[in-house]
Copies of this chain bind each other. A is one copy, B any other.
Amino acid sequence: MKMNADELQAYLAKVFPQAFGPGRPSRVEAVGKHTATVRFSAGERHLRPGGTVSGPALMALSDATAYVAILSALGPVPLAVTTNLSINFLRKADPGDLLAECKLIKLGKRLAVCEVGIRPAAGGELVSHAVATYSIPPQRDLDDGN
């Protein structure tokens, strides 16, 4: 790990203040080797009628959590960009906090591929499952192959 949860939270509060700033919905909950967990407290604008969290909010959360996992592994990589995100919406998200858990399934020289599952923080089955690919800028120095 190049950055721990506190360092990531501080960094993200600066570069994505709308999501990770003070009073905003997203918090870095934990990071590990090639994993990251983000807690999301949906606000009014993330909800659909009936109180379920909207699809775009789940997409944004998946993308952000994957970015956290990559930052944790590589350190600040400001030019890493999402090239593909594919998400399946599996069940309605009941009101309450969500936890997004990301696992890096490939961390190569040029591409990182991440899997992100979102479920209620209170427990229960997956609300959504996403796979995202990031393009890593060529200049960096990476110690693991591919």
Contact = CB atoms under 8 A, between A and B. Distances in A.
Nearest to A136: B110
A74 interface: no
A88 B113 CA distance: 8
A133 interface: yes
Contact of A86 (B55, B85, B126): B85
A44 to B, nearest CB: 9
Contacts of A146: 91
Contact of A84 (B49, B86, B117): B86
Interface string A69-90: 0000000000001111111111
Interface stretch (A4-12, A56-64, A94-102): A56-64
Interface of A is mostly: strand
Nearest to A87: B85
Given A60-B59, A110-B110, A83 B88 contact: yes
Most buried by B among A15, A87, A88, A126: A88
Given A18-B45, A83-B89, A88-B133, 15 more contacts: A55-B82, A56-B56, A59-B63, A60-B60, A84-B87, A85-B86, A85-B87, A86-B131, A88-B131, A90-B105, A90-B106, A105-B129, A110-B135, A115-B115, A138-B138
